[in-house]
Structure 1
Amino acid sequence: MKLTLSWLKDHLDTDATLAEIVDTLNMIGLEVEHLDDKSRFAPFTIARVLTAEKHPDADKLKVLTVDAGDGKPVQVVCGAPNARAGMIGAFAAPGTYVPGIDLELSVGKIRGVESFGMMCSERELEMSDDHQGIIDLPDDAPVGTSFSAYVGLDDPVIEIGLTPNRPDCTGIHGIARDLAAAGLGTLKKVPAEPVTGDGACPVGVTIAAPDLCP
């Protein structure tokens, strides 16, 4: 059973930390088999390309000036064909680990021009296999803020190994109910939305106790 932290909080009102939630799940017998806290995406920042000029010694490269919101534009050498002045994307500064290419960035020279970081593609951030160009965000994307928070990459994923005797926890509400019973928060009342049928029901149904079977 996999669940995100935000999904759990749709059903559980709690101020508990991620570590406290994981510890409590293990304590009540819902063993956490894997936790992806998404921390690897935290360093990436929404940035604007201020200028994009042709590399002096490479036809397919461009030299960008990038504003990551701190008032200190940096130079980035980029080979993406869609790189242009004015676009907004995801920036990784030197020292950032880029998971999609398993590489920690450093300041380097590309065909004689220094590059202080990179503008990232979706593949480099494990969002898809697209590596044809760098990420192109809407014009109103907030420069200088967390890219992962903006696109929802910062939502931790918890994977629980369910045993056959816990069918009540094959749903997110059951897991939230157990955590609430363990004192980790308050279970939210989530109304069950009626499922409307399409066409007449081929089976006759009699409900003897409507109050017990809404």
Structure 2
Amino acid sequence: MPSPRPRRPRADTPDKRALILEAAAQVFADVGLEGASLRAVAARAGYAPAALYFHFASKEALYAEVLMASLARLGAATIADSDADRCAVTRLKAAAMAFFTYYADHPRDLDLGFYLFRGGMKPAGLGRDRDEALNSALEAALAPIERAAIDLGTSRDEARLLTVDIFAHAAGLLLLLHTGRIRMFGASAPHMMERYITEKTAALLKGTAHADT
């Protein structure tokens, strides 16, 4: 006798929702938002398409929740290294490296976060309210860098620019890392990121020291 098929959780259970989100993350990683459909996610999760509408009205809503979960994990990684009892320099370096390391270790989350579709890199959105919520989550993940810079004596505006600078540098190195292009230079993306953060921190300390004299 063939083994009975395992029963899937009911549509209104947390386990069902978790299965859908896991399947959605896999589908979005494979084909991006543009190539995905609720039908494809349902098939991957082992449910009828109608079952997904119990939880999600559209694939954009589903994508937003998958991305929000990813940003929550990113935020947990950066906040874990921002202990207020540590010096500001250490906190800044740790938070910046935690941001880089998380995406270095989780390339699919990087794809989600930067909306890298098969059609190429281009501006994209999931609707104004969802975009604002997702942007807020990303800002929260980067906030430990900004707070540490302020604690070192820089202005809030300068701290924000430093955060954007670190974000942009990390994005470039992550692109080289995950496409393998970094190898043609014989370089190490983590080492280059560490060196960049050290240089930016030294420049920041030098600038605040001059401001105090």
Q: TM-score, normalised by structure 1?
A: 0.23
Greater Rg over alpha carbons, structure: 1
Q: TM-score, normalised by structure 2?
A: 0.23
The structure that is helix-richer by fraction is 2
